[in-house]
Chains A and B, each alone.
Chain A
Amino acid sequence: MSDLHHTSEKPWQAVRTEAVESLLTELGVIDPARVDAIVRHYENAVGPKTGARVVAKAWTDPNFKKRLLADGLAACAELGIGGPETEYLHVVENSPKVHNAVVCTLCSCYPWPILGLPPAWYKSSAYRSRLVREPRKVLTEMGLLLSESVEIRVWDSVSEIRYLVLPERPAGTEAYTEEQLAELVTRDAMIGVAKLEAV
């Protein structure tokens, strides 16, 4: 790969990627149109808004919440949500006494169909190495200060089971509609590195 470093203005990874894509297309292994469609899907169609719908529904429909906590993916399927990288979904619920946070120390497993692709910090060496050992410190650094009396549960999702944190519904949102509630729900709260507030 070293010779490709010096022959182009483009980053070497861009050149190699283009080379692989053009060859795989010639060989009929991939269809670039399908590659385009997948890029568009992850750029536009899925993301934290999907998970926010699930959370808002759980806050407003106790029966849905029960089903969600029992079998996360089956409940998401009721809302038309599903896709690759999530075979099974455990939803873990925050309360005034318990706070949940999710990591994958071995690679960066993440519930793509529910939250979209993970942010760079979730995939970073710092987050992967530290969250399991010093979650209180990491969360504080990320802006979430939890009382010592709050139990922190760290979920290292190294199997094919994915995790979604069900955040606490913010105070003062009793009159909100499900859609208004969904607007409040952030990706970081569903990973467990933030809490939510009414705006």
Chain B
Amino acid sequence: MNGIHDMGGLHGFGAVAVEAGEPVFHSHWESRVFAMTQVIDTCGIWNLDEHRHEIELMDAAAYLTVGYYGRWLFAMERLLNRKNILWREEVERRGREIAQDSTTPVSVNRSDRNWPLTVHQKVSWGAWRHEIAVSSRFKVGQVVRVRNLHPAGHTRVTAYARGRVGTVTVVNAQAWVFPDTRAHNAGENLQPVYTVRFEARELWGPQAEANVWNHIDLSEAHLETLEQFI
């Protein structure tokens, strides 16, 4: 989807602010959101690409203001709600109880909860877990074009690369999960990932800096030959 998360090349964000002596986490809740997400990642509730996509679905203004772990909190709550594991109203009620220092919080008791998951309901988290051979359509040195794709759902094709021509420098010929479909639980579509090298001028035109090359890792389905128009 063409969202605010796809930031490569945007203007207007100013200088990169560097914080001296930065802690690993800036607050307790950030550390809990991070680590809870790590635990839930192993529970079979969502996969990596679904989690990323949920963040992309955030309201654009909120995306820019809640911070990195604020986005993770959003994704965690939304996914748990959507998958009927923890409903929004339960979180709201417990939040009110905590805010009011309630000593008698209402325990959760709905019977239609989708937890624990059955073996069949569980999804796997990882990115490349398949030790099988896949054939590679492109080879090192080949000139390729990034397909001009604008799907409404998840994709890892950065907007600034679409339609641009580069050269394959590395063929990562392992069986990589295709994030664009797995994010929607529409199949793993195992395929190679290619490192494609672009001259900065191809991407940024006359405003490009001299002697700069951009490298982007793209799935096979994101690329086409120069003869091919899809």
Contacts and interface: CB of A to CB of B under 8 A. Distances in A.
Interface of A: 1, 3-4, 7-8, 10-11, 13-24, 26-31, 34-36, 38-39, 42-43, 47, 84, 87-88, 90, 105-108, 116-117, 119-121, 123-130, 132-138, 141-142, 148-161
B206 interface: no
A4 B35 contact: no
Contacts of B45: 29
Interface in B201-227: 203-204, 207-219
A126 B8 CA distance: 10
A26 B16 contact: no
Contacts of A13: 29, 33, 66, 69-70, 73
Contacts of B43: 29
Q: Top 3 A-B pairs ranked by shortest CB distance?
A: A105-B8, A8-B99, A159-B217
Q: Which of B25, B55, B70, B91 has the most CB of A within 10 A?
A: B91
Contacts of A133: 8-9, 160, 203-204, 207-208
Interface residues of B, number: 91
Contacts, number: 248
B96 A16 contact: no
Contact of A160 (B24, B29, B97, B127): B127
B16 A8 contact: no
B98 interface: yes
B38 interface: yes
27 contacts: A13-B29, A14-B28, A17-B29, A17-B36, A19-B97, A19-B98, A23-B90, A27-B86, A27-B113, A28-B115, A34-B39, A39-B34, A42-B25, A88-B174, A105-B9, A106-B8, A119-B22, A121-B16, A121-B19, A129-B10, A129-B11, A129-B12, A132-B9, A133-B204, A134-B209, A154-B212, A156-B216
Nearest to A141: B15
Interface in B77-115: 77, 80, 85-86, 90-92, 94-100, 105, 107-108, 113, 115
